[in-house]
Amino acid sequence: MKKFIKLIIPSSIIEPTIRTVRGFQTSLLYAFLRLATKSQFLSSLYYALFSNAFAREHRGCIYGQLKYLEDCENAQGSQYLLRRNVHRLEKGLLMRPRRNLFATDYITETFRGYEQALAKQSTCAADVGEIGWAHDVLSQYFTIVSSHPVVDGLRDQFSTLKQIEQVELPRIPYKRNLNEPCSVDYDDFLKLSYRRRSVRWYLQKPVSRNLIDQAITIAALSPSACNRQPFEFRIFDDPEMVKKVASIPIGTKGFSDNFPVIIVVVGKLRAYFSERDRHVIYIDGSLASMSFMLALETLGLSSCPINWPDMESKEKEMSALLGLEFDERPIMLISVGYPDPDGMVAYSHKKSLEQLRRYN
Ligand SMILES: Cc1cc2nc3c(=O)[nH]c(=O)nc-3n(C[C@H](O)[C@H](O)[C@H](O)COP(=O)(O)O)c2cc1C
């Protein structure tokens, strides 16, 4: 049809017409966007009527909240509510000055979460380390906190619960030994940071899972909001799977075939009771990923972070391949391997101090 139109109408007429139509479309879009920015209601209306770009996120948030509530009842393994509340108790315990009474508004739900986790311990579904941490923090809390109708009842119940195996050092707030200087000096860290580059060409040599585990051990030490660690590293080293996973994102064209390992960092919205924290998966997942990539360099491996576009078709493809639930959102991908010495890396000029920082 297009060819036919081009044949019968001269290009001196077609091209200005196309420009006029495109100009009209752009003006219309501008008008729509301007109107939609006038209020939150109009913005929401815009997305309700003209774009489904946030539809998956909406479903993910709601699905995550449902999962959160279900997990509070019957969590298998780690329990996000317990992790958050034990973290809050720890903050109360290290507060200066420490108050005689705190956490009365959430100690009951913390205690119930602990009880449930303890009950699951026998089924092996519970996270033993997490329960031990919760036990030690609760134990100190009940020891130091003053009398209160809510606390007193729980204190009695706590003393009747099954005892946890004692560890040498209780898992409670402590003072760090700062007499020793930091064992990594600034210059070494600077060198490591210069050394890490986004590497896209790798030797065709298998990567030991043990090395990946070592790097994840370091990633696990990264900060995360309320210590919830709402992410998982999904690692693929089977060549068939690597090929499939690596071909989904947009930014891997031309070099995805040579990845020995590809990792999908997956965030879990089930860690939150409200959508107010929906961005935290990206922050926590990225902080852990940065530590992971630096750790890889110390082990002789290199990496490249790969963008995950929030596009429905891509999300669907990745979810199907990885068997993700609706609240599980890819944060980014990371290719990993031994760097090919013949492969170049981009110069990637970095911004100056002046461009990046502003005081007060
Ligand atoms: C979130 C994120 C997404 C990225 N996505 C891609 C990508 O899709 N493809 C790619 O080749 N590089 C990707 N990169 C790598 C960047 O291009 C690279 O970090 C940047 O150019 C700076 O280079 P450097 O890492 O060597 O310092 C990504 C990096 C980040 C942090």
Q: Say yes or no: 236 and 318 in one domain.
A: yes
Q: Say yes or no: 202 and 82 in one domain.
A: no
Among the ranges given (16-20, 244-248, 321-325), the one the predictor scored with the smallest mean pLDDT? 16-20
Q: Let me know if residue 360 belongs to a domain.
A: no
CATH number assigned to the domain comprising residue 284: 3.40.109.10
Q: Say yes or no: 222 and 320 in one domain.
A: yes
Q: Say yes or no: 238 and 203 in one domain.
A: yes
Q: Say yes or no: 192 and 333 in one domain.
A: yes
Q: Say yes or no: 46 and 62 in one domain.
A: no
CA of 264 to the centre of ligand 1 (A): 15
Q: Say yes or no: 272 and 287 in one domain.
A: yes
Confidence class for position 1, pLDDT limits 50, 70, 90: low
Whose CA is closest to atom 30 on ligand 1? 305
Q: Let me know if residue 345 belongs to a domain.
A: no
Q: Is the pLDDT of residue 126 over 70?
A: no
Whose CA is closest to atom 3 on ligand 1? 307
Q: Let me know if residue 75 belongs to a domain.
A: yes
Residues lining ligand 1, judged by CB closer than 6 Å? 197-198, 200, 249, 251, 304-307, 332, 345-346, 348
Q: CA-CA distance, 95 to 329, in Å (whole number)?
A: 35
On whether the CB atoms of residues 132 and 171 are closer than 8 A, the answer is yes
Nearest atom of ligand 1 to the alpha carbon of 345: 26
Nearest atom of ligand 1 to the alpha carbon of 346: 26
Q: Let me know if residue 181 belongs to a domain.
A: no
Q: Let me know if residue 79 belongs to a domain.
A: yes
CA of 307 to the centre of ligand 1 (A): 7
Mean pLDDT on 53-75: 91
Q: Let me know if residue 175 belongs to a domain.
A: no
Burial of 252-276, coded b for 16+ CB within 10 Å and e otherwise, reads: beebbebbbbbbbbbbbbbbbeeee
Domain that holds residue 105: 55-160
Adjacent-strand bridge partners of 339: 202
CA of 95 to the centre of ligand 1 (A): 40
CA of 329 to the centre of ligand 1 (A): 19
Q: Say yes or no: 64 and 154 in one domain.
A: yes
CA of 304 to the centre of ligand 1 (A): 6
On whether the CB atoms of residues 110 and 87 are closer than 8 A, the answer is no
Nearest atom of ligand 1 to the alpha carbon of 199: 26
- The pLDDT value recorded for residue 10 is 74
- The pLDDT value recorded for residue 125 is 58
Q: What is the pLDDT of residues 85-119, one digit of tens each?
A: 999 999 999 999 999 999 999 999 999 999 988 88
The mean predicted confidence, pLDDT, of the chain is 93
On whether the CB atoms of residues 108 and 81 are closer than 8 A, the answer is no
Q: Say yes or no: 275 and 236 in one domain.
A: yes
Number of domains in the chain: 3
Q: Is the pLDDT of residue 162 over 90?
A: no
Q: Say yes or no: 132 and 207 in one domain.
A: no
Q: Say yes or no: 219 and 122 in one domain.
A: no
